[in-house]
Amino acid sequence: MIAGVLKETSPGERRVAVVPSAFPLLAKAGVEVVIESGAGAAAGFPDGAFKDKGARIASSRSEVLEAARVLLQVRPRAGAAGAPSGGLEGMGRDHVLVGLLDPLGDPAGIQTVAARGITAFALELIPRITRAQAMDVLSSSATITGYKAVLLAASALPQMFPMLMTAGGTLAPARVFVIGAGVAGLQAIATAKRLGAVVQAYDVRPAVKEQVESLGAKFVELPLEAADAQDKGGYARAMDESFYRRQRETMLKVVAGSEVVITTAAVPGKKAPILLTSEMVDAMPPGAVVVDVAAEQGGNCELTRPGETVTRGAVSILGPVNLPSTVPQHASQLYCRNMATFLALIVAGGELKIDLADEIVRETLVTRDGEVVHPRVREALAR
């Protein structure tokens, strides 16, 4: 089986789907790799590093598409819908595409993939079961997102995070409030604590209180009922607007006492809930910073603009997008490990096997034989 790695077409995407260190794992599954020249350069992996591990370097995209059956990418869907020169150009019925396809956020894009006859696996849909932990691309990217969000906040804040006692006097520590204690939120808590901040955190799921406190942060408990706050996969459920309204009212006091607020609340396939209102931002101290890592899904702050920094009075609201791409080398390493583990599931002895009796395979397969086959994506298309 020959797997092809293409240059990423998504604007600003610097990651690469496969890194040289993964070649031994791929070889065990009977997979050879052909990679488009320069595909790993932005992530710090030159062509020579791949060649040294046995990869064939292709001079063009078309050469990869001609040689490879399985195509491995990070975000291959960019520009595909309605754009002849988009990320799917040259792909067809002979290809199996594996990557981050945003199937629930952009079901119409998946329909475009199906129309080309491509067999496609969306790694975002990997179920959160023990056997699939090594394939969990969302947790890998969220780890980097939480870490980088704190660094952005520390850079924008007009004060330092740690308490310092110096000859010139004592500097109080920054007060950080993290909203959402999933993987990104927990990494943000840990990073802010390492920098010396006083950290509080809140999540609609009471079950995460122990995890928050184990990292040295205070868990903010709001007197709100949220019995159905998470699904069977451990992801947060979307709550109704009445719940979010009461949540915002209760949270105002905590936000007002924080110099940094990092919001990470996102629900797969849905617009991010609004958790920070203009009124709450106005209550924050001068120089305060909001980092909204849910910006790509519309943002948790009603003032957020994806990819921009908005100033409201003396408060800055940052709306970063695709933070994993800003740490491309380590992000690529984590993504590749997830990808290689998944590939070993669908390729054995150099042959492709799509076993729909396997929960992981069944839940990630989104298109086959010209059709959208995933029930949740079909449901989204029917809305």
Active-site residue 140, yes or no?
no
Q: What CATH superfamily classification does 143-325 receive?
A: NAD(P)-binding Rossmann-like Domain (3.40.50.720)
- Segment (H or E) for 25: helix 23-28
- Percent over 90 (pLDDT), the chain: 79
Distance (Å, whole) CA 75 – CA 279: 36
Q: Which residue is catalytic, options 21, 37, 61, 235? A: 235
Are 182 and 262 contacting, i.e. CB atoms less than 8 angstroms apart? Answer: no
Helix (H, G, I), strand (E, B) or coil at 155: helix
Residue 82 pLDDT greater than 50, yes or no: no
In the chain, where are the structural domains located? 2-135+329-375, 143-325
Lowest mean pLDDT among 74-78, 171-175, 188-192, 373-377: 74-78
Nearest Cα residue to 31 out of 348, 361, 355, 342: 348
Q: Catalytic: 133?
A: yes
Active-site residue flag, 37? no
For residue range 133-145, list pLDDT tens digits in order. Answer: 999 999 999 999 9
Backbone angles phi and psi of 175, in degrees to 5: -105, 120
Residue of 59, 60, 133, 278 with catalytic role: 133
Mean of the pLDDT values across residues 208-237?
75
Tens digits of residue pLDDT in 243-297: 777 777 778 999 999 999 999 998 877 899 999 999 999 999 999 999 999 999 9
Q: What does the alpha-carbon distance between residue 247 and residue 263 come to, in Å, rounded to a whole number?
A: 14
Q: Residues 102, 136, 203, 292: which is the catalytic one? A: 136
Q: Which of 106, 139, 194, 312 is catalytic?
A: 139
Per-residue pLDDT tens digits for 20-58: 999 888 888 889 999 999 999 999 999 999 999 999 999
Q: Among residues of the chain, what percentage have pLDDT more than 70?
A: 93
Q: CATH for 2-135+329-375?
A: 3.40.50.720
Helix (H) or strand (E) holding 57: strand 56-58
| Identical fold, 2-135+329-375 and 143-325 | yes
